[in-house]
Amino acid sequence: MKNVFIFTLALLGTALISCESQKDQPSCDDPVSFVYDVPFELCQGNTAYWAENDEFSIVFQEVVSDSRCAVDVACIWAGRAEVALRFNNFDQAYTDTLALGDFTGSTLSDQVEFAGRTIRLMVVSPDNLAGQIIPQNDYKVTMVVTE
């Protein structure tokens, strides 16, 4: 009986620690703001606002294509992930597709200039796994904006 009690306490403690660590991670429902030169994560469908002036924003519209090599297989081509982003600055708006991976035969890039700023795509997540399709709303991108 004593062993069951100890096991139950250990299980409860693990669950509480897990809940606490999940609180530290931002939710896709949380507002996103960014500052220059600091990478930030943005969920698909959400908007990030510049901390100094919310008239400048970036919207992660969708993943246009994702042919990245699955992390659990060996590939002969690294593949590429392409994401559609909309950039807004006061009354200006611009939509572009940025990409990560192999740019062979493509005119795409991992960065764009807009309104005197450079926006660079750094990470597309989650990683691909063989045989699994990633739903659009599970995608996140990590970007950095520089002046």
13 found inside a domain? no
In a domain, 86, yes or no: yes
Total domain count, the chain: 1
pTM over 0.85: no
* pLDDT above 50: residue 3: no
| 25: confidence class by pLDDT, cuts 50, 70, 90 | low
Q: Does some domain include residue 18?
A: no
37: confidence class by pLDDT, cuts 50, 70, 90: very high
User: Residue 120's pLDDT is what?
Assistant: 98
Residue 116 lies in a domain: yes
- CATH number of domain containing 98: 2.60.98
Specify which residues 28 forms β-bridges with: none
5 located within any domain: no
Angle at 55 between CA 64 and CA 119, to 5 degrees: 45
Task: Give domain status of residue 99, yes or no.
Answer: yes
Q: 6 in the Ramachandran plot: left (φ > 0), alpha (ψ -120 to 50) or beta?
A: alpha
| Domain-located, residue 134 | yes
DSSP class of 76: S
Domain carrying residue 125:
27-146
User: What pLDDT, in 10s, does the model give residues 99-112?
Assistant: 999 888 889 999 99
Has residue 109 been placed in a domain? Answer: yes
Dihedral sign, CA of 102, 121, 31, 62? negative
